[in-house]
Structure 1
């Protein structure tokens, strides 16, 4: 009898859980770099985008569709959308997410970004591309309740994290919603590695005008700092995205998205256990509300949902 461990489905589950966990831990490592090693936010975003983007494109060289790497730039019809996606989509997602971590912590930043599917659903209802259903109302209520508990820890008088962290986190959710919706046309024409790889490179080049990658005090780059930087780029970005995409060979997009909820759990767990961030009982309840929201969203798909809506909710975000 065939062992469960050797089945393709188990392999897919292992890949997506590993990838999502690496994404979550990557956010906590970034928090450690900002708050303990005093790495500049702008420099970090620039270097992370450039390095991870180049590595993803190098991975594409080993696939049958390697020619897509250059096809992106053969016409204005493809080049311009990629530039817009790289600057307004990828760079915005990366910067707002990291800024929220810099001003607060990885747990709150990750959970706030995971509100983006609700924002997409509300947008599609307003555009009359999706009906207003009871499940959507429940999801919106869970999102509001989860945010309130997460950000206030049950107090009506003060926030549990700084106001800039909340603002950047909510902007991260909005940016992720735009990223997801805009990426649909690109993913219809090109492989995910090409889309995300070039978007990161474009975003990194754009960010270089704000903070050039070579402008850093070398005294900050200790062996410990460099090891965390390598982990963030290689494990928390490259490996995480690669494993997430690879899991789609063995699992349905719905299963992959659902298991991807391991990311916020990993971010919360490592933030609390490794960085010793205080997390109150109401914040744990808020986290539970948002995790439940993620699960409900994955079971929202039905024949009544438009094809565009289905695809947008399955679009991975390289964090």
Structure 2
């Protein structure tokens, strides 16, 4: 693995993670005025169009339409847009609306564990003691996060937990399913079209024009612009682009700054209280991600993109 490419991949995934985490908290503010269905629809459509515009202006224009000329690729892209992109966006935002950005983001970080299990079952990697430790930390962390140390009372509504777990499943699929498409086309093309497809799919149920635009304040438009440009367009683009130089597990683990950004902005900006055991849960999950990330050995040229970063 080229060291320069690896450093670029690390920078991309960390930057995207920070934007993604902060945008979740900003979205929580937006839900005071707008509906989750409208936000997901408009952010996907606008961010997707912007990404395709960037591809048209600065990269190979022909790829924008070439992706549709192959039936197999076109089908994969539609599946990716609806089952990957739209599912990740909707479940994550629904979990935020039902609970809060910190819990939604941390629940989403069960995705690396799901990726481990999938790769082990597909025999792409060998299950190690570090994998077992990672799963243990994830489960303990989520238990503390959701219960605040008390089994009898959950710290967030059950529906927020359901949406959060579904978000983790969607993120695992989103990460793994993109690999074959990225081998053929630029990440801008894949992510851009996936967003447009997901936005169009949801707009059939929740048309984006069905909102009273006059009721939106300048502050709302500012938050909306941040969520669309930084929290969607740039965050998803950088996340997928990092898969060019990092493995799926690395990309999901190394984006540990996302839950940290979500937790810090939720607690210090939105002033939502977090109990002692919830903070312990946060430390467990962030510790899990950092443990796996810093135990990565340098990749060799013969190493598969799906080799475990936890191999002994």
Pick the TM interval, shorter chain: 0.7 to 0.9
CA contact (8 A) 1:184 1:311 kept: no
* Alpha-carbon distance, 1:101 to partner: 0.4
The alpha carbon displacement at 1:103 in A equals 0.2
Q: Which residue of 20, 24, 43 corresponds with 2:21?
A: 24
Q: How far has the Cα of 1:17 moved from its partner? A: 4.5
Deviation at 1:243, TM superposition (A): 5.6
Instruction: Give 2:169's match in structure 1, choosing from 160, 170, 174.
Output: 174
Give unmatched runs, 5+ long, in structure 1.
1-6, 314-319
Deviation by residue 1:2-27 (Cα, 9 ceiling, x = unmatched):
xxxxx999998776544332221101
Tell me which residue corresponds to 1:131: 126
- Post-superposition Cα deviations, 1:48-78, rounded to whole Å, max 9, x if no partner, equal 1000111111111233323211111112121
8 Å CA contact 1:85–1:182 kept in 2: the answer is yes
1:195 is aligned to 2:190? yes
Q: Deviations over 1:252-305 (max 9, x none)?
A: 637876653211111110011111111111111111111111123324656799
Deviations 1:155-174 (A, max 9, x none): 11111111000000000001
Cα distance change, pair 80–60 in 1 and its aligned pair in 2 (3 A): same
RMSD of equivalent CA atoms? 3.0
- Matched with 2:143 is 148
Q: Could you say if the C-alpha distance between residues 171 and 15 of structure 1 is closer, same or farther in structure 2, counting changes exceeding 3 Å? A: closer
1:253 maps to what in 2?
A: 246
Question: Aligned with 1:91: secondary structure?
Answer: helix
Distance 1:155 1:204, change over 3 A: same
Give the distance between the partners of 2:69 and 2:237, measured in 1 at CA: 26
Alignment of 1:209-248 (within 5 A): 209-241=204-236
The alpha carbon displacement at 1:126 in A equals 2.4
The reply to whether residue 33 of structure 1 matches residue 26 of structure 2 is: no
Contact 1:89 1:176 (8 Å CA) reproduced: yes
Give the superposition deviation at 1:178: 1.1
Q: Distance in 1 between matches of 2:222 and 2:137?
A: 38
Length-normalised TM-score, structure 2: 0.87
For 2:306, the equivalent position in structure 1 comes to: 309
The separation in 1 between residues aligned to 2:149 and 2:65, in whole angstroms, is 52
Distance 1:110 1:98 in 2: 10
Corresponding residue of 1:43: 38
User: Taking structure 1 as the reference length, what is the TM-score of the superposition?
Assistant: 0.85
Distance in 1 (alpha carbons) for counterparts of 2:270 and 2:255: 23
Q: Is the 8 A contact 1:46 1:207 kept in 2?
A: yes
Aligned partners of 1:210 and 1:75: how far apart in 2?
A: 28
User: Which residues of structure 2 form unaligned runs of 5+?
Assistant: none
Residues 134 and 16 (structure 1 numbering): CA distance in 2 closer, same or farther, change over 3 Å?
A: closer
Corresponding residue of 1:70: 65
